[in-house]
Amino acid sequence: MTRRVSRRGIAATALAVTAALGLTACGSSDGEGGTAAAGGEPVAGGTLKVAFWPDNPSFTCVDPFQTYWIEHRTVIRNVADSLTDQDPETGEIKPWLAESWEISPDGKEYTFHLRDGVTFSDGTPLDAAAVKANLDGAQAVVKETGGSAYGASYILGLDHTEVVDPSTVKVVFSAPNSSFLQASSTTNLAIISPDSYRKTSEERCLGQYLGSGPFTLESYKPNELTTLKKRPGYAWGSALSENTGEAHLDTVEFSYVAEDSVRTGNLVSGAIDIAWPRNPFTVEDRELITRSDGVLESRPLPGVAAAFYPNTTAGRPLADVNVRRSLYKALDLPTFASTIYGPDYPVVAGAFDSTTPFFAPQTDRLRHDPQGAAKLLDDAGWKLGEGGYRFKDGRKLTLVHPTTAQSAYGTELIQDQLKQVGIELRLEVITGAELPAVLRNGSYDLASSYFTRADPGALQFLLDPDYANSKALATNASAPETTAEIKGLFAQARETTDEAQREAAYAELQSLLIEQGVVFPWFERVQFAGLGRSVHGFAFTSESFLRLNDVWKQ
């Protein structure tokens, strides 16, 4: 069965965060935090079988700095440790490979003091020189890729790294980067051996690197099987794990299954231990899992919510702010969440998912109000006409949304909701490879995207033209004066060491994005996992990935 944990507020601290709805296990599994089930102690040994969504067909990669594929960041989390860790409940940054740190008053220098005795899986020490090699290597990848590598947004403004002594490393920025401490806790800045950077970027993508984690990457066969092996002698796990020593499991196997129903069927039959879908389970699959004595776990993925981004360039319908504002009132987000994902699914409430630090819900501005939408459209000159659609100067109010087959789930319902107020949403299915050209050409009205990171600075990678992966999407999403405001608020948050000022800047940013019609939240991105009855010790990281330290099989 499942137990629903209600959303609750947590006061703003060093990294304030609003905790969100979760489905935590009861019955045959453990309670929150991954502690052992009542009356049982962890059992050593065994193989855990996890079925993922298929591998990325265009960019197969398990290199920490380069990959954005959320399934592979789970693999990385258990192979390579990070300087710090982030508490998934509070957002607070905790010691891990670094026992302590100092941040200079101007926010440009981070000095980390490393714990003793940590080694990579080949026995070489994880020291200050190794940390420097990683950050130097990351800078090289940024240069090599022109800034498109996923990890580039984590090291904005990085100037250089200094070895102070074997256990002390200083990271120096050309401008303050207040998000870097959180970045140091992520999988994308996980520390790998210096020798790994003697490999090419392509070789690291294929798993040719060594970490210091509780498992080693035994093999990576893209879209077939990824195998992890327990590392003997591991003794420096994060204090956020119950077990900070050697893993309980001997082996973990990650397979790749395209069909959700097949993945769920394999879980129910006992062929696998954990079903890890890309999209949330259907209501039917959730019921099947719980009826079969399985357990459901879930947690919203932190960072940018699944959202639409407009093309506001001259001549497009969404160049008019009133047309953009009408979309908020036309969209019935609670109905979308309950219809597509089930009655207990959380309703998206802003540009970020609710597990993101400094999340400020914009619920009132996103409230369904079809009459209000109609008035805005009338005032903008779009009048109802043939077929219940709106027209202006003989032109139908049509919005073009390019979508891939993978991301089209539920778009027909959005299409129907917009039709209720007279807007035609034309869905044009394209391949992922075709999307960059569509964005560059501006032949769209609404493009969808998201970004997984437990820090609101993640949105820079979508909306700040200086850092965005798609300059076209960032430039088209808002008028120049609004873009300047967005960039200014990101800079305020990034360049201050005062947490209250960061919170204020991000609150203003979230309000501005809705006020000016820059981001149209679509749904809260929730990571589900289905567990077989023999699995214990399950725990999510702050990034909503799987932490294996405490997992054991009965």
If one counts the domains in the chain, the total is: 2
Residue 135 and residue 223 in one domain: yes
pLDDT value for 394: 95
Write out pLDDT tens, residues 219-254.
999 999 999 999 999 999 999 999 999 999 999 999
Strand partners, 112: 101, 169
**pTM over the 0.85 mark:** yes
Claim to verify: residue 11 and residue 83 sit in the same structural domain: yes
Mean pLDDT of the chain: 91
Q: Which residues of the chain have pLDDT under 70?
A: 1-39, 406-408
Are 279 and 372 members of one domain? no
Segments in 365-470 forming alpha helices (H): 370-379, 411-419, 435-441, 460-463
CATH number of residue 36's parent domain:
3.40.190.10
Answer yes or no: do 403 and 483 share one domain.
Answer: yes
Give the CATH number, domain containing residue 410.
3.10.105.10
Question: Using one digit for the tens of pLDDT, what is the confidence trace for 30-46?
Answer: 444 343 343 379 999 99
Residue 355 and residue 264 in one domain:
no
Residues 410 and 265 in one domain: no
Domain holding 82, by residue range, is 2-300+527-553
- Could you tell me if 190 and 309 lie in one domain? no
* Domain identity same for 278 and 326: no
Same domain, 192 and 331: no
Q: What angle do CA 341, 347, 349 make, to 5 degrees?
A: 150
* 25 shares its domain with 85: yes
Spatial strand order of the sheet with 390-392 comes to: 383-384, 390-392, 395-396
Per-residue pLDDT, 407: 65
d(CA 441, CA 538): 45
At 497 the pLDDT is 84
Q: Within this chain, do residues 290 and 338 fall inside the same structural domain, yes or no?
A: no
Give the pLDDT of residue 406: 66
Task: For residues 509 and 386, give the distance between their C-alpha atoms in angstroms, rounded to a whole number.
Answer: 39
Q: Whole-angstrom Cα distance, residue 180 to residue 182?
A: 5
Are residues 199 and 308 part of one domain? no
